[in-house]
Chains A and B, each alone.
Chain A
Amino acid sequence: MADNNNLIVYCEFDEGKIADVSLELLTKGRVLANRLGVKLEALVIGDKLDGVEDQIFPYGADTVYKVADPKLFPYTSNPHAAVLIKLFKEINPQICLMGATCIGRDLGPRVSSCLHSGLTADCTALEIGDHTDPKTGKEYHDLLYQIRPAFGGNIVATIVNPECRPQMATVREGVMKKEVYDANHKGEVINLDAAKYTDPADYAVEIIDRHIEKSKVNIKNASIIVAGGYGVGSKENFQLLFDLADTLGAEVGASRAAVDAGFIEHDRQIGQTGVTVRPKLYIACGISGQIQHIAGMQESSIIISINNDPNAPINTIADYVITGDMEEIVPKLIKYYKKNSK
């Protein structure tokens, strides 16, 4: 394992599939690795990993590290962290990317703490660029710019890790795009012995029960979204949005403020701390348009904003602005849709 200084993606693997977020990161990772002139590597830890590389290579990975052991699935913190820590000490990656999932957000900090390498959570963009330390004047080339909203999404910060390696970042699902690099791309598979990378003491936490609940909500893939904000005013008023969504064949989404206010459940939250969506139609009702929300829906093809406030920030990115009371306008949308659709 002479290869050093590459870019590595920690890939999540469950039910025979590499997670979408990991494939999205491989897609981004390939672009960054090309820019840096280094290899793109992938690491999969779990059980029953036979053939998993076939899912990874099309996204451009040059190397797939596999660590298979029945004890390594389902995920627990310490054994996975132990593998990353030991492997990274051997192969010294310059960048490590992982999904900002329950797993990535549990694993990343533990690894970064042990390696004393900086970790930036929930990045919305990753770029390569130079940096000059404002105090020492020291210049750094080709650092990873880790760009993320901060302060509740009201500002965007560019974070760099000038000295420590790997430069670690997590990215939420749906933020980057997943694209096959080359369907015929092939690389090298390196199998690592789980016993050499973990210690029996790492398995102290035991999972005694596990229930997978398929989310009933599928806003990520919805082509039409009716979303409500704090301005909707109540749980009861959200029913109006469900009515409109039923009529249009849409899903209902919400801003963080509406979720925090208890109007609607968290798995419908759109934005930086929720899901990123790109529907063909986005109807925003009573959403003022905090940056952290706009970041999660601005790529919608058509945006309609319904708001009492003609100066609501979201109106600037909307294709159609309807100024008025959402309680009156939403029923009209339903009425005229029913009248005009076949």
Chain B
Amino acid sequence: MSLNIIVLAKQVPDTRNVGKDAMKEDGTINRAALPAIFNPEDLNALEQALRLKETHPGSTVTLLTMGLPRAAEIVREAIYRGADKGIVLTDRALGGADTLATSYSLAQAVRKHGNYDLILGGRQAIDGDTAQVGPQIAEKLALPQVTYAEDILEVADGKVKVLRRLEHGVETVVAPLPCVITVNGTAAECRPRNAKRVMKYKRAASPSEVAKLPENVAAAVAANPELQIQEWGAAYVEADPQQIGLAGSPTKVKAIENVVFTAKESLCLGNNDEQIENLIKDLIANHTIG
């Protein structure tokens, strides 16, 4: 049985490697100093999809991302690694969305796409760490959800068997298709780019990108549907303006603060045997250790 798989992914600032220049003096984020990357756990989800494509010939893997037009970069990355095609859901009206408005927008895009057996995504994105969008999309599409997946063991007879990795153990569950599965970072790492696919798809571009290309290159993209990354807007996915963007977000950010910790008066020691021994003696004397 061939499968139609939609992989949800997000282009995120690399918050794991925040250098000293990533925060401005006023405590706001210097986004320009942070590279935009493929959200790590979404890559784990992509790998699960690509494995299913191998075991179920004729399957299609479609990457769906919501973000700025430049998110076409991660669609291309997914295609290099083995995805068949991709869609960027992008629209100014979608900006400022919280998880609920985001999941509504993505659910609308999934509806527009139609024809899906499995919707996969990373457990959470490293810029928000909420893990909310997956289950919320499942609810909006009235689908079952399997979160914290570590391995998709089998798809057969209209059901999927999944190994879940939880804080206190593992669970194997069987869910009917279609369903939403969110994948942990403990799952298999995503395969690297395939050199042949990079050659074949390096010109893949979204309409926003095509507009900036030289005419002859743009014509080459126009002539080959395989190179066309789709770009969908809020109206195209028939999103209710009241449910998207800032207006559709029940949560509001009241304040953002730079974190200030109460500084203590520290005793500074060097790499000096006598000082280190005295410290140990003090800690033993006051029963902190020993």
Task: Give the segment of A60-68, A176-184, A321-329 that binds chain B.
Answer: A321-329
Inter-subunit contact B135/A273 (CB<8 Å) = no
Closest to A101 in B: B167
Inter-subunit contact B135/A113 (CB<8 Å) = yes
B173 within 8 A of A: yes
Inter-subunit contact B261/A215 (CB<8 Å) = no
Closest to A169 in B: B251
- B23-67 near A? 1/0 per residue, CB < 8 Å: 100011100000000000000000000000000000000000000
CA A97 – CA B134 in complex, angstroms?
20
Task: Give the segment of A2-10, A144-152, A234-242 that binds chain B.
Answer: A144-152
Inter-subunit contact A281/B288 (CB<8 Å) = yes
CA A40 – CA B277 in complex, angstroms?
52
CA A324 – CA B279 in complex, angstroms?
15
Chain A positions within 8 Å of B175 at CB level:
204-206
- A187-212 near B? 1/0 per residue, CB < 8 Å: 00000000000000000111111111
Inter-subunit contact A316/B288 (CB<8 Å) = no
CB within 8 Å for A163 and B290 given contacts A206-B173, A319-B266, A319-B267: no
Chain B positions within 8 Å of A157 at CB level:
253, 255-257
Inter-subunit contact B131/A121 (CB<8 Å) = yes
**Interface size, chain B (Cβ < 8 Å):** 78
Closest to B262 in A: A317
Inter-subunit contact A163/B171 (CB<8 Å) = no
Inter-subunit contact A341/B290 (CB<8 Å) = yes
CA A73 – CA B99 in complex, angstroms?
28
CA A268 – CA B271 in complex, angstroms?
27
Inter-subunit contact B176/A204 (CB<8 Å) = yes
CA A74 – CA B166 in complex, angstroms?
13
Partner pick for B144 among A204, A315, A316, CB 8 A cutoff: A204
Inter-subunit contact B147/A116 (CB<8 Å) = no
Chain A positions within 8 Å of B186 at CB level:
266
The A interface is mostly helix, strand or loop, or mixed, namely mixed
Inter-subunit contact B280/A122 (CB<8 Å) = no
Chain B positions within 8 Å of A150 at CB level:
128, 256
CB within 8 Å for A105 and B147 given contacts A159-B252, A340-B284: yes
Inter-subunit contact B276/A336 (CB<8 Å) = yes
A50 within 8 A of B: no
CB within 8 Å for A208 and B289 given contacts A320-B269, A321-B266: no
B230 within 8 A of A: no
Inter-subunit contact A208/B173 (CB<8 Å) = yes
CA A102 – CA B276 in complex, angstroms?
42
B119 within 8 A of A: no
Inter-subunit contact A281/B283 (CB<8 Å) = yes
Task: Give the segment of B3-11, B14-22, B196-204, B208-216 that binds chain A.
Answer: B14-22
Chain B positions within 8 Å of A120 at CB level:
251
CA A212 – CA B171 in complex, angstroms?
8
Inter-subunit contact A164/B250 (CB<8 Å) = yes
CA A333 – CA B259 in complex, angstroms?
32
The B interface is mostly helix, strand or loop, or mixed, namely mixed
B136 within 8 A of A: yes
CA A209 – CA B176 in complex, angstroms?
17
- B123-152 near A? 1/0 per residue, CB < 8 Å: 000111111111110111000111110000
Inter-subunit contact A328/B271 (CB<8 Å) = yes
Partner pick for B172 among A110, A117, A207, A303, CB 8 A cutoff: A207
Inter-subunit contact A160/B254 (CB<8 Å) = yes
Give the shortest distance, in Å, between B236 (CB) and chain A (any CB).
22
CB within 8 Å for A116 and B146 given contacts A290-B18, A294-B261, A318-B264: no
Partner pick for B129 among A122, A206, A328, A340, CB 8 A cutoff: A122
A229 within 8 A of B: no
CA A146 – CA B217 in complex, angstroms?
50
B268 within 8 A of A: yes
Inter-subunit contact A113/B139 (CB<8 Å) = yes
Inter-subunit contact B171/A155 (CB<8 Å) = no
Inter-subunit contact A209/B146 (CB<8 Å) = no
B281 within 8 A of A: yes
Chain B positions within 8 Å of A119 at CB level:
99-100, 132, 251
Give the shortest distance, in Å, between B280 (CB) and chain A (any CB).
4
Give the shortest distance, in Å, between A215 (CB) and chain B (any CB).
7
CB within 8 Å for A332 and B276 given contacts A105-B147, A109-B132, A151-B15: yes
Chain A positions within 8 Å of B270 at CB level:
322-324
Inter-subunit contact B169/A211 (CB<8 Å) = yes
CB within 8 Å for A256 and B16 given contacts A156-B257, A318-B266, A340-B281: yes
Inter-subunit contact B166/A102 (CB<8 Å) = yes
**Can you name 16 A-B residue pairings with CB atoms under 8 Å?**
A77-B147, A105-B131, A118-B100, A118-B249, A146-B251, A154-B22, A156-B259, A157-B255, A210-B170, A317-B264, A320-B267, A332-B276, A332-B277, A336-B281, A337-B289, A340-B277
* Other A-B pairs beyond A109-B130, A154-B23, A315-B266, 19, CB < 8 Å: A77-B147, A106-B148, A108-B132, A109-B103, A109-B135, A110-B145, A152-B18, A156-B257, A156-B258, A156-B259, A159-B254, A161-B251, A163-B250, A204-B176, A208-B161, A208-B172, A257-B16, A273-B129, A316-B263
Q: Chain B residues in contact with chain A, CB under 8 A?
A: 13, 15-16, 18, 22-23, 27-29, 98-100, 103, 126-136, 138-140, 144-148, 161, 166-176, 179, 186, 249-259, 261-264, 266-271, 273, 276-277, 279-281, 283-284, 288-290
- Which are the 9 A-B pairs with shortest beta-carbon distances? A152-B15, A324-B271, A118-B251, A118-B250, A109-B135, A113-B139, A109-B132, A113-B136, A164-B250
